[in-house]
Amino acid sequence: MIVQGRYANDSVKSGSDGIEIKTTRKAGGAVDMHGARDQWLCVFVYDVDNGTEPAIDRTPMTFTEVYLGRVAIADFRKNSRGELGTRTATLNREGIAKLRTLWVYRLKNESSRGSRQQQQ
C-alpha cells in the first residue's frame, strides 16, 4: 500500500513510503520478503479449515493476529538460496520479537477452533 501521488504512476517496486502487507498462517507473523529495507510492515495471520468434509461444514477463515510497525534493515536476516532460488529476507530473532510487540489484534485460541476470544 502506498501513498497516492508519492511515486510516478502510483507504482513502485521497492519504496520507503507506504506499508508492505503480508499474510501467513504461521503464528507470530514470521514471513519471507524479497529484500530487507527500512519500511512499515503489516502482517495478517489467519487460520483456515482445509480439512473438514463436507466443505460446507468448514469453519470460516479467521484472522488470528495482526502486526503493524516500522522495521529496519538491521531487523532482517538474509536467506541464502541456491543458484536458481529467489533471494529473500526474513526478520531476524530481534526483528520478529520487535514486530510481535507491535500487535494490533490477537485472538486467544481456547480449547477448540470454534471457541475463541479476543486476548486482553
User: Would residue 7 count as lying in a domain?
Assistant: no
User: Would residue 60 count as lying in a domain?
Assistant: yes
User: Would residue 43 count as lying in a domain?
Assistant: yes
* Residue in this structure with the C-alpha cell 502486526, named with its chain if needed: 67
User: Would residue 119 count as lying in a domain?
Assistant: no
Q: How many structural domains are present in the chain?
A: 1
Query: Which segments of the chain does DSSP mark as H helices, in order?
Result: 93-101
User: Would residue 118 count as lying in a domain?
Assistant: no
pLDDT at 45 over 70: yes
User: Would residue 116 count as lying in a domain?
Assistant: no
Which segments within the chain are labelled E, that is strand? 19-24, 32-33, 39-47, 62-71, 76-79, 88-91, 103-109, 116-118
Average pLDDT over every residue of 41-50:
96
pTM here?
0.78
Give residue-wise pLDDT tens across range 67-111: 999 999 999 998 777 676 677 889 999 999 999 999 999 997 543
User: Would residue 117 count as lying in a domain?
Assistant: no
pLDDT at 28 over 50: yes
Query: Can you give the residue range of the structural domain that contains 45?
Result: 13-108
The answer to whether the beta carbons of residues 41 and 16 sit under 8 Å apart is no
Give the sheet arrangement for strand 76-79, strand by strand. Answer: 32-33, 88-91, 76-79
User: Would residue 73 count as lying in a domain?
Assistant: yes
